[in-house]
Amino acid sequence: MNGKPSFFAELQRRNVLRAGVLYAGVVWALAQGLAQLLPLFGAFDWMARWFVIAGIIGFPFWIAFAWFYEFTPQGLKRESEIDPTDSVARSTGRKLDFWIIGVLTVAVVLLLTDRLVPHKDAPKAIAASAFVKSIAVLPFENLSADKDNAYFVAGMQDLILTKLADIGDLKVISRTSTEKYQSHPDNLKDIAQQLGVATILEGSVQKAGNQVLINVQLINTQTDAHIWAQAYPRTLDNIFGVEGEVAEKIAAALKAKLSAAETARLAAVPTENKAAYDLFLRAEFQANRGTTDYDTASWKMAIPLYRQAITNDPDFALAWARLSYTESELAWFGGGGLNAKQLTQQARTDAERALALAPDLAAAQLAIGYSDYYGRGDYAAALKAFAAALAQRPNDVDALAARGFVQRRQGHFDDAIASFQQALAHDPRNSGLANELGETNLETSRFADAETWFQRALALDPDNLSARNFNANNILFRTGDVALALAAAQGDAPILKQQRVILLTYQRKYREALTLLDSVPDTPDNFSITNGSKALQMAKLYRLASDMARAQPLFEQALAQANQQLEMQQNINLAFVWQNIASAELGLGHIATGLTAAAKVYENHTWITDSTYGPQLMETGAVLCAEAHRADLAVPLLAQALASPGVGFNYSPVMLWIDPAWDPIRTDPRFQALLQQYAHAQPAHASSGAAHE
């Protein structure tokens, strides 16, 4: 023993241990800070992880540095160059102690801030953090030799998407925003930016006879790296539940937290009946087509397919729910020639069956909600059901949009806009949702905002006929420029032709309007209860053209058709049927009978107070009274309609100078007073209508 200090004592003297603690504290504090700051700039968790790894790699180099070097008043010197009697290691150690305490304090504060500060106080950080756990499912590629298997491929994508939507910790983009992309595009990073996601799921399906091969791959869109990929060879006899397996693997890959209820829903299999499964996928293919374009023909094709699926598996709750939803939609849009009253009643029965089979199924709650909304006009019950659906699936686009529809009808327009925008966040390229935002702004006469949304809808989908139609109305109601509105409503689709017929009527080009209307096929899918039959529309145009010889038989035909509809319609559609009856009766010269029929519209108080259809019913009722030369009845109804918050959906004050419907009462002092009240809305290029009085 020669008194030489031990290795441990030398480590202490040279402050190596303190340096190590300080280094670890600095790395920990910086990692805490990065973990909280990086999401604010759209960066990812892996950046913080790589920082920690780099810190670990640098640790031995730092320890070596602390062993060989010492900070002195003269600067940095090698330990071997310093006389032990001149060493300031002890005073340096005290300084290091202070630094260690300071760094650890900062690290603890950052840790507590991250754990204890409520997330609602940092919305940007939350949004960025949620971005990491976000996914879009692109259309699966159909590798089957039989291209008629497209319904099966689309169905597998939808089922996986539905399961992913059950995971509350994931941001999942809806199908309508991804359906126009290719299956394996080259520009994944651009698509991810458009959809606001960090990952994309690509897939392919090959079906041959009883054999099915499903390939899926999860891709990090920032690096193009494959996070996870797997092949699922199956037969049609054991394919059930594969969508839940895929969703569970994705959740694990994205480190999404699953509740016990979510885990159970992922494992749940909607049916184990092969025939029911196939029929359900076929039905979904048609129903989705119908919902995209409000196509009653597609809904009518879907309904028997759902029923066949249920026949094969009476306990198929999802099929019952989707059947009910489709029946409610078809009934709401007039039934497409089917008995809407029976469809509404059947939709309720089917929704209740779905809910009895699966009380926690979001689709069943959605079906109940639409039955309350479309079928019963019970808005409070509908909102309760939609809230129940959102409790099961908080980001369900259909439930969010449904809530917006009801809020809009209640006159809660700002709430409706918020609901539609929330839905759009999870379905950012959904042209239909953009159109609904346009319609809601149009309803409240926010013409500039409406134009923005209609243009967005058309940019996303130039074939969105509803957006094209309402965009033309927005132009007309804002400017009164019929020619400009006509230019915006070009196209061969029946809905666009009928829009141009109305616009040509405003220009009093009745013969041109008749020729165009005659070119539209006379089918229930083309002529809705809301606008009246083709016979009724033709008859009114002939009357305006002073051709009563051709108008009268058409009015008789229209009256017979409308009377048949009385037994087939209910709720709001029944109100429109009574208006069609009144219009036909008045066209035939039956003034008293026509006005009695018009009064029937207002017996149902629910629809008159509806903020969307109420103003429309009042305005069209005023038209009927004006036709009967009853300004005493027409003007109060028209004034009430124009003063209603939702009038912009169907009308605006500028129309007082343009619409020939007011020509029979245009010189009446009461109507002239209304013109004076809205003088600010008179278009500069409009005539007073004197030439047509």
Give me the CATH number covering residue 189.
Answer: 3.40.50.10610
**Of the candidate ranges 50-54, 224-228, 657-661, the one whose mean pLDDT is the lowest:** 50-54
Same domain, 19 and 86: yes
Indicate whether 490 belongs to any domain. no
Higher pLDDT: 224 or 358? It is 358
Which CATH number belongs to the domain containing residue 360 in this structure?
1.25.40.10
pLDDT tens-place string over residues 145-165: 777 888 888 888 888 888 888
Same domain, 285 and 422: yes
- Rounded CA separation 471/679 (Å): 24
Torsion angle (degrees, nearest 10) of CA 468, 471, 475, 481: 20
What's the pLDDT band for 128 if we cut at 50, 70, 90? very low
Name the DSSP class of 192. Answer: H
Which CA distances in Å does 117 have to 45, 111, 114, 128, 274?
Answer: 19, 10, 6, 16, 51
- pTM score: 0.74
Indicate whether 551 belongs to any domain. no
Indicate whether 454 belongs to any domain. no
Report the pLDDT value the prediction gives residue 484, as an integer from 0 to 100.
Answer: 96
Report the pLDDT value the prediction gives residue 180, as an integer from 0 to 100.
Answer: 84
What's the pLDDT band for 632 if we cut at 50, 70, 90? very high
Same domain, 247 and 165: yes
Last residue of a domain, one of 376, 411, 428: 428
Look at residue 127 and tell me whether its pLDDT is greater than 50: no
Report the pLDDT value the prediction gives residue 10, as an integer from 0 to 100.
Answer: 64
Higher pLDDT: 2 or 176? It is 176
Calculate mean pLDDT across residues 36-41: 52
* Nearest by Cα to 692 from 653, 671, 665, 655: 665
Which residues, other chains included, contact 377 with Cβ-Cβ below 8 Å and sequence gap of 6+?
Answer: 571, 572, 606, 607, 610
Using CB atoms within 10 Å of the CB of residue 268, give its burial: 0 to 12 exposed, 13 to 18 middle, 19+ buried: middle
Asked if 289 and 251 count as a contact pair (C-beta separation under 8 A), the reply is no
Look at residue 49 and tell me whether its pLDDT is greater than 80: no
pLDDT tens-place string over residues 512-541: 999 999 999 999 878 888 889 999 999 999
Indicate whether 369 belongs to any domain. yes
- Rounded CA separation 438/446 (Å): 9
Q: What percent of the chain has pLDDT over 70?
A: 82
Indicate whether 249 belongs to any domain. yes
Calculate mean pLDDT across residues 586-601: 95
Same domain, 209 and 106: no
* Nearest by Cα to 131 from 33, 222, 224, 246: 222
Same domain, 281 and 421: yes
- Rounded CA separation 285/299 (Å): 10
- Rounded CA separation 526/296 (Å): 9
Same domain, 370 and 256: no
Can you give the residue range of the structural domain that contains 77?
7-119
Same domain, 105 and 220: no
Higher pLDDT: 689 or 594? It is 594
Asked if 689 and 663 count as a contact pair (C-beta separation under 8 A), the reply is yes
Same domain, 98 and 137: no
Indicate whether 127 belongs to any domain. no
Number of structural domains (the chain) is 3
Same domain, 150 and 114: no
**Of the candidate ranges 134-138, 254-258, 294-298, 418-422, the one whose mean pLDDT is the lowest:** 294-298
Last residue of a domain, one of 244, 267, 290: 267
Indicate whether 527 belongs to any domain. no
- Rounded CA separation 253/260 (Å): 18
Asked if 516 and 501 count as a contact pair (C-beta separation under 8 A), the reply is yes
Indicate whether 367 belongs to any domain. yes
Look at residue 131 and tell me whether its pLDDT is greater than 60: no
- Rounded CA separation 10/5 (Å): 6
Same domain, 214 and 291: no
Same domain, 286 and 385: yes
Same domain, 304 and 408: yes
Calculate mean pLDDT across residues 195-202: 91
Using CB atoms within 10 Å of the CB of residue 384, give its burial: 0 to 12 exposed, 13 to 18 middle, 19+ buried: middle
Last residue of a domain, one of 398, 428, 458: 428
